[in-house]
């Protein structure tokens, strides 16, 4: 359940890849994510107490969400081999930021038993891979899922920012304010993504018109 937002990131990150590369992107991204969780588990309780960490992470996830929205709603397909690693890089960045709470729950469930911890993390791989594969296929058929996925990531970003220890200590926001921030970021990611996509498309159209060769009669 906790890994659902990570599956969304992976599915959106590999959507623009050719179908042959998607499987590798999902496997490499999921594998890297699991390895990161093994490392982060040993520091999870300390990480959650660090001020500004979740605040900075929320800002980073907002950027990732907007970038994936723009990439996911574009018509062009990516065929350069280098973009496989770009997708994996995005997955790793997002997973580092988003996995702290998840890792703390896994660490608590394993009660410090390293074997149970590793067994649980390894068992999670097929679930994340399967969910990511299904989502990436559904995104091809139903592009609206890209919008929903971006909104989910925006909600995660807003939640991270509003629950940062420094923000809570300084503002002490009520529960309704936390929900309002989550909704604001969920909607904001989609709105900003659409605006930047239209702006980029407009600039590309203008550039194409300027560079259009002059036909000589």
The 8-class DSSP code of residue 81 comes to T
- DSSP reduced 3-state for 151: helix
Please report which helix (H) or strand (E) contains residue 104, including its range.
helix 82-110
Q: What is the pLDDT of residue 200?
A: 81
| DSSP class of 75 | S
CA dist 55 and 69 (Å) reads 21
Q: Answer whether residue 135 shows pLDDT above 70.
A: yes
- Helix H, strand E, coil C: the string for 152-182 is HHHHHHHHHHHCCHHHHHHHCCCHHHHHHHH
On whether the CB atoms of residues 13 and 68 are closer than 8 A, the answer is yes
| Predicted local confidence at residue 117, as pLDDT | 75
- CA–CA dist 132, 188 (Å, integer): 24
Binned at pLDDT 50, 70 and 90, residue 83 comes out as: confident
pLDDT, the chain, mean? 79
Whether residue 79 is predicted with pLDDT greater than 60 in this model: the reply is no
Closest CA to 125 of 27, 38, 39, 41: 27
Residue 49 φ then ψ, to 5°: -90, -10
Span 27-41, pLDDT tens digits: 888 888 777 777 777
Q: Which helix (H) or strand (E) holds 111?
A: none
Measured torsion, CA atoms of residues 104, 106, 107, 113, in degrees rounded to the nearest 10? 180
122 vs 174, more confident: 174
Question: What distance in Å separates the CA atoms of residue 181 and residue 144, rounded to the nearest whole number?
Answer: 23
> How much is the average pLDDT of 186-204?
88
% of the chain residues with pLDDT over 70: 81
Report the largest interatomic distance among the alpha carbons of the chain, rounded to a whole angstrom: 80
pLDDT single digits (tens) 152-192: 889 988 988 998 888 888 888 899 999 999 999 999 999 99
């Amino acid at each position: 359940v906790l890994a659902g937002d990570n599956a969304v990131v992976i599915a959106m990150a590999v959507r623009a890849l050719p179908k042959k590369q998607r499987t590798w992107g999902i496997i490499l991204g999921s594998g890297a994510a699991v390895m990161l969780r093994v490392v982060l588990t040993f520091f999870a309780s300390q990480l959650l107490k660090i001020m500004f960490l979740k605040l900075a992470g929320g800002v980073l996830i907002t950027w990732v969400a907007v970038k994936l929205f723009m990439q996911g709603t574009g018509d062009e397909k990516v065929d350069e081999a280098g973009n496989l690693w770009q997708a994996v890089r995005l997955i790793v960045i997002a997973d580092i930021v988003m996995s702290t709470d998840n890792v703390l729950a896994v660490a608590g469930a394993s009660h410090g038993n390293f074997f149970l911890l590793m067994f649980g993390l390894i068992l999670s791989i097929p679930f994340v891979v399967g969910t990511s594969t299904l989502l990436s296929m559904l995104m091809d058929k139903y592009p609206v899922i890209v919008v929903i996925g971006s909104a989910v990531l925006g909600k995660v970003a807003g939640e991270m920012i509003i629950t940062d220890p420094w923000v809570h200590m300084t503002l002490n926001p009520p529960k309704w304010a936390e929900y309002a921030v989550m909704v604001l970021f969920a909607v904001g990611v989609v709105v900003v993504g659409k605006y930047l996509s239209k702006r980029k498309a407009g600039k590309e159209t203008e550039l194409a018109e300027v560079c259009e060769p002059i036909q000589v009669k």
